[in-house]
Amino acid sequence: MSRIRDTFVDLKHAGCGGFIPFITAGDPDLATTERLLVELAAAGADIVELGVPFSDPVADGEVIQRASERALRKGTTLSDALECVSNAKEHIDVPIVLFSYLNPLLKFGRDRLAEEARRAGIDAVLITDLIPEEAGPWITAFREHKMDLIFLVAPTTSDERLARIAQQTSGFIYAVSRTGVTGTRNEMPRDAESLVKRVRAVSDLPVAVGFGISTPEQVSQVWRFADAAVIGSALVRQIEKLAGSPELVDRIGEFARSFLKSKQICQTTGS
């Protein structure tokens, strides 16, 4: 069993939903990224997603696109992201998912990535645009290094394709709450709960819901039907607002904790 599955087992035993924040490597800079990884773990993150900045994202909304642009202007690379994780892992033990598009990983090299990501302390890789039909060599490479490969599913994913993805995914399944790109939304899409039910019908893997989750209330809603909530754009927007502030890391920690009030209750009752 992977460390990510272990995390979800512990959450289930405690009767809690998981909290998975997302940040972009190199935004606003690499030193701050390392500090943010440590701070998010201290704030109560169960898993952290670290995005590899990419110049041509197709699933990211404007907030995360701008974060990638800022990081790329400073020359942030995949190697830099791995080094951030390696440095942060000296202080934390929270599982980390490397979140990337396929092109940067292809340029880096599949086997090299598997080896260096594991050495850095990466627990899983999520490749947004890797299709199941071409995933075999990637699955093999990562599993040989005891890492999970996580796939996205969306409300538009057919039942047949959903079953295929469920067979190839390990760690957890990332359910996109709605069609379209990332970004904050005022209401939780109805498609999200329906999609999670469809995933449950073909897999016993934990399900995390992301895209558009931006308030503590929405996180609590997700926890009622899924195993974890992913907070991306709302967090990255706060990093953008606080750029240049010496209080950025502390303020982001406070912001992350604001999503966890109901979780603190469940941890008390679960223990």
Give the catalytic positions in this structure: 49, 60
What's the CA dihedral at 248, 249, 255, 261 to 10 degrees?
Answer: -160
| Pairwise CA distance, residues 221 & 80, whole Å | 35
Q: Which residues of 92-128 are buried (b: 16+ CB within 10 A; e: fewer)?
A: bebbbbbbbbeebbeebeeeebbebbbebbbbbbbbb
In order, the DSSP letters of 133-164 are GG-HHHHHHHHHTT-EEE-EE-TT--HHHHHH
Phi/psi-derived region of residue 26, left when phi > 0, alpha when psi is between -120 and 50, beta in every other case:
left
Number of H helices, E strands in the chain: 13, 9
The Cα–Cα gap between 48 and 57 comes to 20
What are the φ/ψ torsions at residue 30 (nearest 5 degrees)?
Answer: -70, -40
Name the burial class of residue 5, with classes exposed (0-12), middle (13-18) and buried (19+) by CB atoms within 10 angstroms of its CB. middle
